[in-house]
């Protein structure tokens, strides 16, 4: 390699290594909720993308918190709602206390009608915990079990107002 | 500087939120139909003697048998109401508040924060310290528990992880049913079926904790494994006795403690040997390294405290997996098969669902979650034969329970399984096995169903796995194992039972009162 192309190569490499890691490494910040096979993902602890992360992997999602404030953020497809909240450090109080293991109902969110019908039917474990959530509606789901798809671009997800029982107050 | 302030304000706002939460709850309590909040000292107590306290109630003197501990709780509930406070030996034991009310369950469920606090199993902690192994996930608290639990959650409670073992577990259950068919005697029973169930549970536990097949059904069993099975039984018997025995073992080595030390030492040495082969352990260790690295980047001081802890704790995880995953699962399976055997009509309905699934080839991990009747049968079996009387907590904040103010730091036992699992107020026709009750949601609107569940059945039953962030980490594996057992067995055999009726007996986990000798009729 000539001297000039080597220095170009070195420059590209140093730029390249500053890119954020995709795949499992980022997800370590949150409860690991990606759909991929466990063993395969463990073998590739660090995966580098050879191309920069492109917009088509992301969608925009609006989240309305318990006080009624709207947060708009971009989110990766195949992440869960809980991932979105944690990755973007939205700091919703008492959201996802059990970290996505379907042991509580604090990540209870309400979808719009049109978006709700796009979602896969909840699994039995989720239904058991969803039954115990406060203020259950016809379009409620647990945020840690809903994976984002392209069709959900620009949807609005609402957190219910109270996490304690509405009947107490 | 700014980031420190930001962090501090975030933490403060969380505490502030907690305070608001409690104040709101207490305010609501006062405003509601109940009278003003009563003091902690007014909580009803059982009759107790001057020095001995209520200790005699736990001895043969009053006809007590550790197998009937749940009956004692129920008797107290009938006498004293939904909350009572007991100090077994004044001066030696601390006052423990026993709660039975589903409303209290709900309150604690909603209040649960990230760091759920449940008392360690004291004697287990002492014994493990004596042997020189770490205390284990069940015994640690606070931030240490939280960091270890995050690793455990990712490997035990994520769907992708659990479903990756579904094929192997299905094979285990098929091998087990082959073993049953080879071992049937002239009465179509398997001699000593309880031991066979233990072998099945151990085989399954070996798959997900050590990624190996022990070969309990192929006849080439390693010589140590029979020892392990026998010792596990002994271990649970000892642990049950030690739970209710007076805490003399804190001061000198009782005979029970010495036996337990020997047994646990044996088991832990065996597991340490097997660990080298385990892909699962390697995966957990890798996960732990990543987590430690991330903590190091954010907060290096935390690291030195946690690092040593987590290295050792991961090693003990394997023995916890094997210890916690055998006796419990085999008892759950015994109760499940019993309830199927005495309800042949329900068995038929389940068989139809299983046959449909097998014919369409959909029996992977995810498809199991779509088999509604199977899931409902498991819930109903948990209701009728709860594997534990409930769970316990130590309160982080003051809470008002059943109209009494309970201060922070009090030890609570939540025992609603014992009191309400057959309470007609919460479950219609409580003595009947009716999986349909858990499927009624399709006939009601979401709002109606949610009200029904949260005012009635939902919190009346804590279930066999506890609740909240500190619920059993192995529950998804256990449910998967039992589901596959039912799939393999009911598709090939009809299960019947022709002996004395089985009742639940308490032995740290609930066990059948009679030998689970089932009859298997080939289809």
Cα A154 to chain centroid distance, Å, stands at 14
CA-CA distance, A32 to A144, in Å (whole number)?
Answer: 10
Instruction: Tell me the β-bridge partners of B411.
Output: B96, B394
The answer to whether residues B248 and B254 touch, using CB atoms and an 8 Å cutoff, is yes
Q: Do B160 and A35 touch (CB under 8 A)?
A: yes
Quick check: B314 pLDDT over 70? no
Q: How confident is the model at residue B246 (pLDDT cuts 50, 70, 90)?
A: low
What value of ipTM does the predicted structure carry? Answer: 0.76
Tell me: pLDDT of B320 over 70.
Answer: yes
User: Which chain B residue lies closest to A90 (C-alpha atoms)?
Assistant: B10
Q: Kindly identify which residue of chain A lies nearest to residue B157, measuring between CA atoms.
A: A101
Q: What local confidence, expressed as pLDDT, does residue B302 receive? A: 61
Report the CATH number that the domain containing residue A110 is assigned in CATH.
3.10.20.30
* Number of domains chain A is built from: 1
Residue scoring higher pLDDT (B315 or B73): B73
Q: How confident is the model at residue A141 (pLDDT cuts 50, 70, 90)?
A: very high
What is the extent of the structural domain holding A91? 61-154
Distance CA B459, CA A111 (A): 26
pLDDT at B11: 46
Asked if the structure places residue A130 within a domain, the reply is yes
Asked if B394 contacts B410 with a C-beta cutoff of 8 angstroms, the reply is yes
pLDDT of residue B39 exceeding 50: yes
Q: Is A124 near chain B, with CB under 8 Å?
A: yes
Residue A92 inside a domain? The answer is: yes
For range B454-459, the mean pLDDT? 65
**Residues B212, B282 contacting (CB under 8 angstroms):** no
Does B351 or B195 have the greater pLDDT score? B351
Mutation target to probe the A interface, by most A beta carbons within 10 A, among B145, B159, B380 is: B159
Kindly indicate the confidence band of residue B360, based on its pLDDT and cuts at 50, 70 and 90. Answer: very high
Question: Quick check: B513 and B380 in contact, CB under 8 A?
Answer: no
Q: What is the 3-state secondary structure (H, E, C) of B419-462?
A: HHCCCCCCCCCCCCCCHHHHHHHHHCCHHHHHHHHHHHHHHHCC
Instruction: Report phi then psi at B189, rounded to 5.
Output: -115, 160
What is the model's pLDDT at position B271?
Answer: 64
Q: Which of B6, B30, B31, B110 to mutate to test the interface with A (most CBs of A within 10 A)?
A: B110
Confidence of residue B9 (pLDDT cuts 50, 70, 90): very low
- Residue B514 CA: distances (Å) to CA of B194, B365, B433, B499: 10, 33, 19, 8
Q: What is the pLDDT of residue B343?
A: 95
Decide if pLDDT at B344 tops 90: yes
Q: What pLDDT digit, counting tens, does each position of B152-166 carry?
A: 887 788 888 888 889
With CA atoms as reference, report the closest residue to A63 among A150, A149, A158. Answer: A158
B180-184, B420-424, B445-449: which range is least confident on average?
B445-449
A97: in domain: yes
* Confidence check: pLDDT of A95 > 60: yes
Mean pLDDT of B33-57: 78
Answer whether A134 touches B (CB < 8 Å): yes
Please check whether residue A8 touches B, CB under 8 A.
no
A78 is a domain residue: yes
| Residues A59, A153: Cα–Cα separation, whole Å | 5
What is the band of A168 on the pLDDT scale with cuts at 50, 70, 90? Answer: very low
Residue A56 inside a domain? The answer is no
Residue B122 pLDDT > 70: yes
Least confident of B34-48, B313-327, B372-386: B313-327
Inter-CA distances, B410 with A51, B95, B268, B397, Å: 56, 8, 33, 9
Q: pLDDT for A103-137, tens place per residue?
A: 888 899 999 999 999 998 899 888 888 888 887 88
Round to the nearest angstrom and report the end-to-end CA distance of chain B.
Answer: 74
Q: How many CA atoms lie within 13 A of B36 on its CB side?
A: 1
Rounded CA separation B118/B138 (Å)? 8
Closest of B121, B491, B135, B104 to residue B310, by C-alpha: B135
* Whole-angstrom distance, CA of residue A25 vs CA of residue B134: 29
Contact B153 A99 (CB under 8 A): yes
Determine, yes or no, domain membership for A48. no
- Digit-coded pLDDT (tens) for B84-104: 888 877 777 788 899 888 888
Nearest of B383, B375, B373, B381 to residue B349 by alpha carbon: B373
Alpha carbon of residue B448 to chain centroid: 30
Residue recorded with tokens 């209870």: A108
Classify residue A90: in a domain, yes or no: yes
Q: Which residue has the higher pLDDT, B258 or B6?
A: B258
Full-model pTM: 0.79
Nearest CA in chain A to B469: A98
Is B472 flagged in the annotation as binding? Answer: yes
Residue A22: per-residue pLDDT: 36
Confidence at residue B399, expressed as pLDDT on a 0 to 100 scale:
87
Question: Which strands make up the sheet holding B411-414, listed edge to edge?
Answer: B83-86, B96-99, B411-414, B391-394
pLDDT of A14 strictly over 70: no
B47-61, B171-185, B320-334, B379-393: least confidently modelled range: B47-61
Asked, for residue A160, whether it belongs to a domain, the answer is no
* Structure confidence by residue, pLDDT tens digits, A35-63: 334 434 444 333 333 334 444 588 899 99
Could you give all domains of chain B from N- to C-terminal order, each with its CATH number? 44-522 (1.10.630.10)
Q: Which 8-state DSSP code applies to residue B443?
A: G
Check pLDDT > 90 for residue B482.
yes
């Amino acid at each position: 390699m000539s001297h000039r192309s080597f220095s170009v190569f070195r420059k590209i490499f140093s730029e390249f290594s500053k890119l954020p890691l995709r795949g499992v490494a980022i997800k370590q910040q949150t409860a690991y909720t990606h759909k991929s096979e466990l063993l395969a993902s463990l073998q590739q602890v660090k995966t580098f993308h050879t191309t920069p992360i492109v917009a088509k992997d992301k969608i925009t999602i609006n989240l309305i918190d318990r006080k009624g404030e709207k947060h708009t953020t971009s989110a990766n497809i195949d992440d869960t709602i809980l991932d979105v909240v944690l990755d973007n450090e939205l700091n919703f109080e008492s959201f996802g206390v059990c970290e996505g293991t379907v042991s509580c109902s604090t990540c209870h969110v309400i979808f719009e009608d049109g978006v709700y019908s796009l979602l896969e039917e909840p699994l039995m474990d989720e239904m058991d915990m969803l039954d115990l959530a406060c203020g259950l509606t016809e379009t409620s789901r647990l945020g840690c079990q809903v994976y984002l798809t392209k069709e959900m671009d620009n949807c609005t997800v609402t957190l219910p107002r109270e996490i304690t029982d509405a009947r107490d107050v | 500087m700014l980031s420190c302030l930001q962090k501090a304000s975030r933490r403060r706002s969380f505490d502030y939120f907690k305070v608001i939460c409690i104040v709101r709850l207490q305010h609501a309590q006062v405003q509601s139909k109940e009278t003003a909040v009563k003091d902690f000292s007014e909580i009803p107590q059982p009759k107790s003697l001057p020095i001995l306290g209520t200790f005699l109630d736990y001895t043969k003197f009053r006809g007590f048998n550790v197998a009937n501990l749940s009956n004692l709780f129920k008797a107290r509930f009938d006498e004293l109401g939904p909350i009572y406070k007991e100090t077994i030996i004044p001066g030696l034991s601390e006052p423990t508040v026993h709660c039975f009310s589903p409303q209290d369950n709900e309150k604690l469920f909603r209040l649960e924060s990230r760091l759920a606090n449940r008392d360690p199993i004291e004697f287990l902690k002492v014994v493990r310290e004596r042997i020189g192994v770490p205390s284990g996930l069940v015994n640690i608290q606070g931030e240490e528990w939280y960091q270890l639990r995050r690793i455990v959650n990712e490997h035990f409670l994520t769907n992708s992880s659990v479903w990756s073992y579904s094929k192997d577990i299905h094979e285990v259950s098929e091998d087990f049913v082959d073993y049953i068919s080879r071992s049937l005697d002239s009465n179509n029973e398997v001699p000593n079926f309880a031991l066979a169930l233990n072998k099945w549970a151990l085989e399954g536990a070996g798959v997900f904790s050590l990624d190996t097949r022990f070969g309990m059904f192929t006849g080439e069993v390693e010589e140590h494994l029979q020892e392990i099975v026998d010792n596990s039984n002994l271990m649970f018997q000892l642990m049950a006795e030690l739970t209710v025995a007076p805490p003399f073992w804190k001061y000198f080595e009782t005979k029970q403690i010495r036996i337990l030390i020997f047994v646990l030492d044996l088991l832990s040495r065996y597991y340490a040997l097997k660990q080298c082969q385990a892909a699962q352990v390697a995966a957990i260790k890798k996960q732990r390294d990543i987590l430690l690295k991330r903590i190091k980047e954010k907060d290096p001081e935390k690291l030195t405290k946690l690092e040593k802890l987590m290295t050792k704790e991961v090693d003990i995880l394997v023995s916890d997996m094997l210890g916690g995953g055998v006796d419990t699962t085999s008892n759950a399976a015994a109760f499940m098969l019993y309830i199927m055997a005495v309800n042949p009509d329900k068995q038929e309905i389940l068989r139809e669902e299983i046959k449909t699934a097998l014919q369409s080839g959909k029996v992977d991990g995810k498809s199991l979650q779509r088999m509604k009747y199977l899931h409902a049968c498991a819930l109903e079996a948990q209701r009728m034969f709860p594997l534990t009387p409930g769970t316990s907590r130590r309160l982080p904040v003051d809470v008002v329970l059943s109209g009494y103010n309970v201060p922070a730091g009090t030890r609570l036992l939540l025992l609603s399984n014992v009191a309400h699992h057959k309470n007609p107020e919460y479950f219609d026709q409580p003595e009947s096995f009716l999986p349909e009750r858990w499927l009624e949601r399709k006939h009601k609107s979401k709002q109606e169903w949610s009200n029904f569940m949260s005012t009635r059945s939902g919190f009346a039953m804590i279930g066999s796995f506890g609740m909240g962030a500190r619920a059993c980490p192995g529950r998804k594996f256990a449910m998967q194992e039992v589901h596959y057992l039912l799939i393999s067995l009911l598709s090939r055999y009809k299960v019947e039972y022709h002996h004395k009726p089985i009742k639940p007996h308490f032995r740290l986990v609930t066990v059948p009162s009679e030998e689970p000798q089932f009859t298997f009729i080939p289809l």
